[in-house]
A and B are shown apart, each in its own frame.
Chain A
Amino acid sequence: MARKLLLTHIDIPGINTFEVYRQKGGYRAVEKALKTLTPDDVLEEVKKSGLRGRGGAGFPTGMKWSFLAKPEGIPRYLVCNGDESEPGTFKDRYLMTHIPHALIEGMIVSSYALGANTSYIYVRGEMMPQIRILEKAIAEAKHAGFLGKNILGSGFDLELFVQPGGGAYICGEETALLESLEGKRGNPRIKPPFPAVSGLYNCPTVVNNVESIAAVVPIINDGGEEYAKIGVERSTGTKLISAGGNVKNPGVYEIELGLSVEEFLYSDEYCGGIANGKRLKAVVAGGSSVPILPANLILKTLKGESRLMTYESLADGGFQSGTMLGSGGFIAFDEDQCIVRNTWNFTRFYHHESCGQCSPCREGTGWMEKVLHKIEHGHGSFSDIDLLVNVAKNIEGNTICPLGDAAAWPVASAIRHFRDEFEWHVTNGAEARQRNYGLANYADPLEPVV
């Protein structure tokens, strides 16, 4: 049985309340940090843990914290990014719903390390029930003396607030999130300056994902070195993976990084294989933005090595034959799914969610959506496929924020790996409106051909 650090007590009734969470050892990390560690000690533990940002970018959390500017007399802020909206990802919703105090506890310890006396948890507005859950948890923690003035007699003050978003994927980008928190449209800022120097209200700010903040709790309880013992190479600790699409057992799983993709996908402890006895066609391993891979390449690298659930192994082969761990939004496609239709759907998403600041993204996502719609509906031409590649290339790297890249990669990778399916839509337009292309030669190498 794999070790769990975040979801250890998830099945215990009432773990969403302060009382039960505390009985199960909750808020020990706050006691340990505030009574026995300096803020810099906490930072050191997080650095030693090797924790990497769980929102998608995978940037080392300790390093991000160490960049925070600390000028005298200017407040510093910690903002938690709970804007979870990357298609395929629903782990933060799960964590906030079932074990909200893990996030509150992580916020207290992290705010202490960073010297923040006011911190915000920005949650997407559609998660109104989760916002209510967090507000209740904050009230309970405050009542118990873990928030407010002079927490546990340490002299450390912290006020914690939940901020609702308004329904915009772009606000998951940290500078757009800060704009939104300031009451503006979610337009990403030009960097530099980075939030660590000039973030919320032009003050030094750290923005961390929900899961990253919650992971600080076991890191402080057990020590950074213990945390780093789990995992492989630079992928340390555990990770929440959201499994969706056509798997038998969709849901949120806490895995030890280093688990093989094959085990995650097929063992009954996790996804349990593909639903309805179908065969696997493709996987998007880390949320809609990362390159899609056909079944053979997600299970094994091009070199024939078993693919692991780590930042490094999923990226093996670069974008030619690899992908990314991203946010851990694992979407499986069975043999009946149409890659062209899904690519069109994802591109419609990015077009809808583009903030409109940068022309390549604003216009490019719109053109890609139109061209993909045309191909999917059987009216495309071969030159349209090349046009898509061209537009994607011209968006990538040419925008203020990574939404442009995130829109370009799914299109580029779908054509890279499934070009014959796009071409089939062009040459067999009428048929493409009636039926799907099927598996072609991407068959899951682990399942016998029926």
Chain B
Amino acid sequence: MLSVKHNESVTFTEDMLGKFAEIVRRYPEGRQKSALLPLLHEVQAEFGWLSVSAMDKVAEYLHLDPIEVYEVATFYTMFFLQPKGRFNLEVCRTGPCCLVGAERIMTHLEEKLGVKEGEVTADGLFSWRGVECLAACGYGPVLQIGPEYTFYENLTAEGVDELINELRKKAEGAKLDADS
């Protein structure tokens, strides 16, 4: 569902606009709509999710009707229409990964983080969900973390605990840097 709750004004930085222009040049003239998915990825990487204001701004940039952006953002599973945790852990839940224990990993994540699938932890750091086949069936169970889609393979419960601790430390480190 589209979120209009957080309708603050959105600004694209010079860096982003430069990247947008480079992307649009990949397509023939008049076919700038082709840039829509790559641009939505860029915007989501910057803001963490796609607010209606951000999508409207993309529509304006590509000379599209806002609905053309909404209908695409709502179709593809990678686009988030609500804020997620700073680290959104996505575990493959499809057949081959389940043959090697993906369901146990998801149960473990739920217990460890104390939030259900799709919910965000109180500190805003974590959310998790099951996703469909990530084309890594030989390395299962697997999970990925956007926006760079870093990949973690052959997961065990202990491995997941370590990963969460690492991510927590990373967030604390970043906070210390920002404070100092």
Given A164-B37, A166-B37, A166-B79, A352-B135 contact (CB < 8 Å): no
CB of A165 within 8 A of CB of B96, answer no
List the B residue with the shortest CB-CB distance to A184.
Answer: B72
CB of A126 within 8 A of CB of B72, answer no
Question: Complex Cα distance A333/B69, Å?
Answer: 42
CB of A183 within 8 A of CB of B72, answer yes
Nearest-Cβ distance from residue A130 to partner chain B, whole angstroms: 9
CB of B137 within 8 A of CB of A169, answer no
> What's the dominant secondary structure at chain B's contact region?
mixed
Nearest-Cβ distance from residue A26 to partner chain B, whole angstroms: 25
Does B160 have its Cβ within 8 Å of any Cβ on chain A? no
Nearest-Cβ distance from residue A152 to partner chain B, whole angstroms: 23
A:198-224 near B, CB below 8 Å: 201
A:68-96 near B, CB below 8 Å: 75, 84-90, 92-93
Question: Complex Cα distance A161/B79, Å?
Answer: 22
CB of B100 within 8 A of CB of A246, answer yes
Question: Complex Cα distance A295/B104, Å?
Answer: 26
Contact with A along B26-41 (1 / 0, CB 8 A): 1010010111111011
CB of B148 within 8 A of CB of A329, answer no
CB of A125 within 8 A of CB of B135, answer no
Chain B neighbourhood of A252, CB < 8 A: 138
Chain B neighbourhood of A425, CB < 8 A: none
Question: Complex Cα distance A23/B102, Å?
Answer: 41
Chain B neighbourhood of A167, CB < 8 A: 76-79, 131
CB of B95 within 8 A of CB of A331, answer yes
Does A349 have its Cβ within 8 Å of any Cβ on chain B? yes
CB of A184 within 8 A of CB of B28, answer no
**What is the total number of residues of chain B having a CB less than 8 Å from a CB of chain A?**
44
Chain B neighbourhood of A436, CB < 8 A: none
- A-contacting 9-mer, from B1-9, B118-126, B139-147: B139-147
CB of B31 within 8 A of CB of A288, answer no
Does A297 have its Cβ within 8 Å of any Cβ on chain B? no
> What's the dominant secondary structure at chain A's contact region?
mixed
Chain B neighbourhood of A58, CB < 8 A: none
Q: A90 is contacted by which of B31, B77, B137, B149 (Cβ under 8 Å)?
A: B137
- B-contacting 9-mer, from A237-245, A258-266, A390-398, A426-434: A237-245
Could you say which of B94, B98, B133 has the most chain A C-beta atoms within 10 Å of its C-beta? B133
Q: A250 is contacted by which of B34, B137, B144 (Cβ under 8 Å)?
A: B137
CB of A201 within 8 A of CB of B28, answer yes
Does A337 have its Cβ within 8 Å of any Cβ on chain B? yes
Question: Complex Cα distance A329/B95, Å?
Answer: 12
Question: Complex Cα distance A120/B100, Å?
Answer: 35
Nearest-Cβ distance from residue B57 to partner chain A, whole angstroms: 16
Does B151 have its Cβ within 8 Å of any Cβ on chain A? yes
Chain B neighbourhood of A161, CB < 8 A: 26
Question: Complex Cα distance A209/B136, Å?
Answer: 17
Chain B neighbourhood of A345, CB < 8 A: 93-95, 98
Given A118-B28, A129-B148, A163-B37, A168-B75 contact (CB < 8 Å): yes
CB of B33 within 8 A of CB of A169, answer no
Q: A183 is contacted by which of B35, B99, B131, B149 (Cβ under 8 Å)?
A: B35
CB of B96 within 8 A of CB of A245, answer yes
Does A353 have its Cβ within 8 Å of any Cβ on chain B? yes
B:92-114 near A, CB below 8 Å: 93-96, 98-100
Between A and B, 24 residue pairs with Cβ closer than 8 Å are A87-B137, A88-B96, A124-B135, A125-B149, A126-B78, A127-B135, A128-B146, A129-B148, A163-B37, A164-B38, A166-B40, A166-B79, A169-B133, A181-B34, A182-B31, A184-B33, A244-B138, A244-B140, A245-B96, A245-B137, A250-B138, A333-B99, A345-B95, A355-B75
Q: A126-B134, A167-B78 are in contact. List 9 more A-B contacts (CB 8 A).
A: A85-B135, A88-B96, A89-B137, A125-B78, A164-B38, A166-B72, A183-B33, A185-B71, A349-B95
Which residues of chain B have a CB within 8 Å of any CB of chain A? Answer: 26, 28, 31, 33-38, 40-41, 62, 68, 71-72, 75-79, 93-96, 98-100, 131-140, 144, 146-151
Question: 10 closest Cβ contacts across the A-B interface?
Answer: A166-B76, A244-B137, A167-B78, A183-B33, A183-B36, A250-B138, A167-B77, A128-B149, A185-B75, A87-B133
